[in-house]
Structure 1
Amino acid sequence: MSELPGIDLQHWQAQGRTMTFAGQPIRYWLAGAADAEPLLLIHGFPTASWDWHRLWAPLAGRYRLIACDMLGFGYSAKPRGHAYSLLEQADLQQVLLAQVGEQRPVHVLAHDYGDSVAQELIARHLEGRLQLASCVFLNGGLFPETHHPVRVQKLLLGPLGPLIGRLFSRRKLAQSFARILGPHTQASEAELDALWQLIEHNNGLAVMHRLIRYMPERRQQRERWVAAMQATHVPMRVIDGAVDPISGAHMVARYRELITAADTVLLEGIGHYPQLEAPDQVLAHYLQFRDLPEAVACSAEHC
């Protein structure tokens, strides 16, 4: 899938640390020099922060990396019966920053579900509740009207959601990924095994139907989030796998309609997980964005 070697899941797990959020254990990761500019990485659904493993070492050479498995994901707690919320996941990111003692304006790199959390952080930045320095979105449902969920997501949201979650399997994960990744950047069996371990860990299948409530929550928050993106001076870029059927080129077209002077990059032939499918391209476009004068100025001036 990539020329960047990445990190083995077992080694990744061993590098994690634990904090408490809302009475639940949360796993998080740090890398890079403490005095380097802070970069918060926010993963997507239904996976975890290991999604960033191919970019982790290259980015850690320039930035202080901060990432967690959000509540209900990966190696973090997955409480059954919990009312999972994107707003709560944004709270978690702020608690994480406090946990690691990060008080400077933070850069954000987000994907999928994490894009919605990042949108909430942009709204909070405008409200003076935290300071962002920049935000880069990978494939995600920034606008509900352009989000095309896969069949299993629709089923999870329906009345049979709890059953659908319990019946989800490694084979169904492979089928879903085959549809959403690029035709020439399909996941290896080893990668699918790792992703499945993260989803299944700690009885994760039992909460999938609760996590999926982010889709109606996105609709509820749409006007607030889009207004914040239109009003903010925080530099933003979209780096998007063009052939992603969920949030590909059609989402980028909508972004260009709604965001003035939209900064967008389309990765031809790449699907929903560009950080796994084409991490070398994502890295190059991310570093180029960070070197832009407006991004550097925003970091220095706190936007």
Structure 2
Amino acid sequence: MAYIGKRGIVLSVLAAVLVWAFRTSPALVLSPQLKEWKQSGKFFSHGQFKVFYHDETGKGEAGEVVLCIHGFPSSSHDWVKVWDGLQGRFGRVIASDLLGFGFSDKPLDHNYSIFEQASIIEKLLETLEVKEVYILSHDYGDTVALELLRRFLDRQKSSEKSAAHLRITSVCLLNGGFLPETITFQWVQYLLTTSFGPYLSRLSNLLPFSFRRSIGKVFGPDTKPTPAEYDDHQTLLRWNDGHLAMGSISQYQNERVAHRERWVEAVQQSTIPVHLIYGPADPVNTPVLLDRYRELFPRATDTVLNSKIGHYPHVEDPQSVLTAFFNFLEKVASFKQSSSPGKM
């Protein structure tokens, strides 16, 4: 009886901790960097929801616009280390926090979808009167980018006048599981898709070391985030109770499987250049991704970074990413020139 009593006490304490972790969490404090990012951005409406975005001018030609699409479970703030470099090359740089991420609204009972995220971006660009973009995307954003590419190609084939819709000049992907057969799931990624997801996320507030460990594992061995960067990542994740929506958002993994052919065919049939910038020390998107990418898309190109760069190349080695991206853009410019009317 004494044993049962002790076990009951332990279970009761554990249950109380879980309930407390689920119902309470530390107050959010924005770092100076996040405050500046939020204050310099804007919001636009998607139905009843507010979506955060950045739209800034650069030093390049006015018609040259780059659209940056972030990954999971991140935000547009991921692009801050390459932002100045992009402004030096383009006339306009745009990035939004997708619905459920960053400073955007994060409805808990929402049926999150790659298709809706693509539609939100199209609406944002229409609102900003942007007609043509270069796309730079990462992770989850890669699949959103491929859906935008598929829609662009479908319009080209149809009787619709493409001038009335978004035109895509090129697509540059960073490490992402857009080929679901190549993904090596981390245990926490699986748990987030189950009913344990909200509790696991709450416990990340109670056990910050566990949260840092799970995020840090996808970075390269020498490029781990600083303590301040970990804190910013967790703050943006928890903003508007976003950690409670991660389970719903994580269902995009099932979408990638269900609609794999739609997005694979988009690259295979692409009439515009597609490029992959790849960090090979990625435990989720291992070099199997690169091999499969080259096999499926022989006309697409790629850049392989230093062997110690992991899942977040633009955060871990921003200068190398900018160099690779700009080198790709030189090829895009040659492609545009050879494809223009009157060229033989």
**TM-score of Structure 1 vs Structure 2, range by shorter chain:** over 0.9
Which residue does 2:24 correspond to in 1?
none
Deviation at 1:262, TM superposition (A): 3.1
Deviation at 1:15, TM superposition (A): 0.6
Q: How far apart, CA to CA, are the structure 2 residues paired with 1:8 and 1:36?
A: 29
Q: 2:84 aligns with which of 57, 64, 70?
A: 57
Deviation at 1:39, TM superposition (A): 0.6
Q: Is residue 2:236 matched to residue 1:236?
A: no
TM normalised by structure 2 equals: 0.82
Judging changes above 3 Å, is the alpha-carbon distance between structure 1 residues 295 and 135 closer, same or farther for their aligned structure 2 residues? farther
SS in 2 for 1:184: coil
Which residue does 1:190 correspond to in 2?
228
- Pairwise mapping of residues 149-298 of structure 1 onto structure 2 (< 5 A)? 149-169=185-205, 170-267=208-305, 268-292=307-331, 297=336
Q: How far apart, CA to CA, are the structure 2 residues paired with 1:47 and 1:195?
A: 7
Range 159-168 or range 282-291, more displaced: 159-168
SS in 1 for 2:237: helix
Deviation at 1:300, TM superposition (A): 7.8
Q: Is residue 2:171 matched to residue 1:135?
A: yes
Judging changes above 3 Å, is the alpha-carbon distance between structure 1 residues 256 and 235 closer, same or farther for their aligned structure 2 residues? same
- Pairwise mapping of residues 52-91 of structure 1 onto structure 2 (< 5 A)? 52-63=79-90, 64-91=92-119
SS in 2 for 1:251: helix
Which residue does 1:147 correspond to in 2?
183
Q: Is residue 2:126 matched to residue 1:126?
A: no
Structure of higher RCO (CA pairs closer than 8 Å, 6+ residues apart) = 1
Q: How far apart, CA to CA, are the structure 2 residues paired with 1:99 and 1:255?
A: 34
Residues 182-219 of structure 1: per-residue CA shift (max 9 Å, x gap)? 00111111111111110011111111101101000111
TM normalised by structure 1 equals: 0.92
Which residue does 1:20 correspond to in 2?
45
Q: How far apart, CA to CA, are the structure 1 residues paired with 2:338 and 2:107?
A: 37
Check conservation: 1:28, 1:67, Cα contact below 8 A: yes
Check conservation: 1:111, 1:137, Cα contact below 8 A: yes
The residue identity in structure 2 corresponding to 1:29 is H
Structure 1: 5+ residue stretches without partners: 1-6
List, as ranges, runs of 4+ consecutive aligned residues in structure 1 with deviation greater than 4 Å. Answer: 293-296, 298-302
Deviation at 1:159, TM superposition (A): 3.6
Range 113-122 or range 8-17, more displaced: 8-17
The residue identity in structure 1 corresponding to 2:112 is Y
Q: How far apart, CA to CA, are the structure 1 residues paired with 2:130 and 2:77?
A: 22
The structure number with the bigger radius of gyration is 2
Residues 87-130 of structure 1: per-residue CA shift (max 9 Å, x gap)? 10000110110121112x21100000000101101110111163
Q: 2:70 aligns with which of 43, 53, 76?
A: 43
Residues 200-254 of structure 1: per-residue CA shift (max 9 Å, x gap)? 1111111110110100011111011101110011101100110101113221111
Check conservation: 1:242, 1:269, Cα contact below 8 A: yes
Check conservation: 1:270, 1:277, Cα contact below 8 A: yes
Q: How far apart, CA to CA, are the structure 1 residues paired with 2:320 and 2:287?
A: 17
Q: Is residue 2:71 matched to residue 1:32?
A: no
The residue identity in structure 2 corresponding to 1:190 is A
Q: Is residue 2:34 matched to residue 1:9?
A: yes
The aligned length equals 295
**% of aligned pairs identical?**
38
RMSD: 1.9
